[in-house]
Structure 1
């Protein structure tokens, strides 16, 4: 049970879903941010951006955000959940493009502290073909998910352990996005 009374059935609205319903005025802004970061036109695919969100959420040990964004990434990547699990376990050995690996290193640095993002990490990403927009968006996705993770866990929301519980949201996110 959440630390505060959200006035809803948490089993039907776990994690950030319930928090957004509790405070729709803040939920709308958070949903709009997620929509731009994860679904708007970008040279990084929605699956790659969801993978960054899932990886950061896993590093933050946020069960709800990790499992939900892992499901969203898997649904949008040809290699599915197998690749998501490999990346989240060890991006250095996962079968992903070098550019994505370099961007994940930047996301990992952001997860520790924004000050951990070095010129060397940025130069390495650029050397693999990352654009300034991709670097920017990687940093912002990682930073936003640190906030989302702390929001979800800081209020003690329900986070189903069973990954199948997150599948119902996949169709909604893929068809309606984060603002639908």
Structure 2
């Protein structure tokens, strides 16, 4: 049961965004900028980073949502996403993505500078300043989104098809289309 009264039946962050559109709109805009705007990383790769951070933060709604969003946009689909969540060191992703997932994991683990070794490994794998910036910002933002959802004990969807339907909306419309209807985290 959520820790605050939510006057809608939307699960996870969707209910929170609908409850407070004054804060929900900017949070949706941020997610859209981080995950859908032009970038050197594909939307699927950025969703994979969000899913990985959410999984590490044990935020089931966010992990399941962004796993579905990544799977819908990446070759390898659900199998690839499961492999990354289980162990990015052995998952069938390129060295650059593996290095960026390590960056995301370091950001998720503590608020401190990335280790020189992690940055050097990412650069050696082909990551540039934009890749590092975007990965750090996605990881940091999803720590916030995950805490927002988890701390207020939001509900999980009752319908097992929720995540797949949400993935279709995200791929087609991004996060700006109907903030209350599109899960961010």
Q: Same fold (TM over 0.5)?
A: yes
1:163 shift after superposition: 5.1
Residues 40-86 of structure 1: per-residue CA shift (max 9 Å, x gap) = 11111100000000000000000000000000000000110000000
- TM-score norm. by structure 2 comes to 0.92
Tell me which moved more, 163-172 or 54-63.
163-172
1:103 shift after superposition: 0.5
Tell me which moved more, 130-139 or 117-126.
117-126
Residue among 66, 83, 93 paired with 1:96: 93
Segments of structure 1 that go 5 or more residues without pairing to the other structure are none
1:120 shift after superposition: 1.5
State the Cα RMSD in Å.
1.3
Q: Which residue of 2 aligns with 1:30?
A: 27
For 1:122 and 1:162, the matched residues in 2 are separated by 41
- TM-score norm. by structure 1 comes to 0.95
Residues 147-170 of structure 1: per-residue CA shift (max 9 Å, x gap) = 000000111101248753311211
Segments of structure 2 that go 5 or more residues without pairing to the other structure are 178-185
Structure 1 runs, 4 residues or longer, greater than 6 Å off: none
The structure with the greater share of residues assigned to helix is: 1
